[in-house]
Structure 1
Amino acid sequence: MFQITEVLKKVPFFQALDQEAIHYVVDKLKYKAYQKEEVICHAGDPGDKMFIIINGQVKVAVYSPDNEENVIAHLGSGDHFGEMALLTGEPRSASVITTQAAEMFILDKTNFDEVIDRYPSITLSMGKVMSRRLRRILQKTSGTKARVTAVTGSLTDRSLADILKF
């Protein structure tokens, strides 16, 4: 069995909380087990919950219009997802699917708001976490863009050179 407080202390934005605050958060959590390859949420779903992975693994993915999968991240024990949608009120930006059986704690919007109202310092920590995630995604996509530009850019330059010959 797992120690709930130990799992929460792995989540960066709960790490600064004292024992009383951790227990307050614990009282707000729900537990759920997922099977391998189970869809936890789809991109576009309402962002009404955040998830903390106790054990197991998930992939975070977006899909192109022709259903091509682009995996953004793999997350495991102690990782979390869904907090961005809770903060912004926007629909989910990606789909999350288990890659192996997983157990999770779930914090719904109502309980999340109560935790934030009581411990507003969490939002600053969440902002830092989301900034790091955004930076990683931008680095990953800029690498992809550079590879695409390396191929298409040379073609564009060549075409432009051909046009200028006339």
Structure 2
Amino acid sequence: MLLKDEVELLRRIPLFAHIEPSRLKLLAFTSERLVFEADEVICRRGDPGDAAYVVLMGSADVLVEQPDGSQVKIATLERDAVVGEIAVLADVPRTATVRAATRFEVLRIAKNDFLQLIRDFPEVAIEVLRTLARRLSWALGELAEARGGSAPPDGRSPPALP
């Protein structure tokens, strides 16, 4: 894929929509394009949070391990999703495992590049905060429902996590 095509892919993602094309070109150039086949693990819970990933194609499952060792799917990642930013921002290990459900293509943005992007473009930081707030709202709704309360008020499915 050409660099200009990767820039266009990044522009359609809300997180990067307001970034000037020259900066997106640099981001695309410094990022690594990775392809995973179905059932391949992209990252595991506990891995270092060394990068964020932008989903270019395919789908993947976000899995959380249960005390009995089984894994529960808590979300599905699809095109244009950004995943891994929590571990990057909080400087903590991955919070879940991500496994490709289909052929899965991502753009891997190294931690330092992602953090520099946030420093350079406050609107990216605001979009990240909005995404994290939606995830927190969903998680709190799920917790309330699990404890016998009602479903999340907006009825939306969970956004990506790790």
Instruction: Specify the TM-score bucket, using the shorter chain as the normaliser.
Output: 0.7 to 0.9
Structure-1 residue corresponding to 2:153: none
- Which amino acid counterpart does residue 108 of structure 1 have in structure 2? A
Report the 3-state secondary structure (helix = DSSP H, G, I; strand = E; otherwise coil) of the residue aligned with 1:25: helix
Alignment of 1:61-140 (within 5 A): 61-140=63-142
1:115 Cα deviation after fit: 2.1
Report the 3-state secondary structure (helix = DSSP H, G, I; strand = E; otherwise coil) of the residue aligned with 2:147: helix
Distance between the aligned counterparts of 1:141 and 1:34, measured in 2?
32
Distance between the aligned counterparts of 2:136 and 2:17, measured in 1?
21
Question: In 2, are the aligned partners of 1:49 and 1:82 still within 8 Å (CA)?
Answer: yes
TM-score normalised over the length of structure 1: 0.80
Alignment of 1:1-166 (within 5 A): 3-146=5-148
1:33 Cα deviation after fit: 0.5
Distance between the aligned counterparts of 1:123 and 1:38, measured in 2?
30
1:63 Cα deviation after fit: 0.8
Distance between the aligned counterparts of 2:11 and 2:142, measured in 1?
28
Report the 3-state secondary structure (helix = DSSP H, G, I; strand = E; otherwise coil) of the residue aligned with 1:100: coil
Distance between the aligned counterparts of 1:137 and 1:55, measured in 2?
26
State the 4+ residue runs in structure 1 displaced beyond 3 angstroms.
Answer: none
Larger radius of gyration: 1
Residue-by-residue CA offset, 1:65-111 (whole Å, 9 max, x unaligned): 21122211101111110011111101111110111111110001122
Question: In 2, are the aligned partners of 1:59 and 1:73 still within 8 Å (CA)?
Answer: yes
Distance between the aligned counterparts of 2:8 and 2:148, measured in 1?
41
Distance between the aligned counterparts of 2:65 and 2:144, measured in 1?
18
- Which amino acid counterpart does residue 139 of structure 1 have in structure 2? G
1:23 Cα deviation after fit: 1.8
Distance between the aligned counterparts of 2:119 and 2:29, measured in 1?
15
CA-atom RMSD in angstroms: 1.8
1:113 Cα deviation after fit: 2.6
Unaligned runs of 5+ in 2: 150-162
Length, aligned pairs only: 147
Question: In 2, are the aligned partners of 1:58 and 1:75 still within 8 Å (CA)?
Answer: yes
TM-score normalised over the length of structure 2: 0.82
Distance between the aligned counterparts of 2:135 and 2:30, measured in 1?
25
Question: In 2, are the aligned partners of 1:47 and 1:85 still within 8 Å (CA)?
Answer: yes
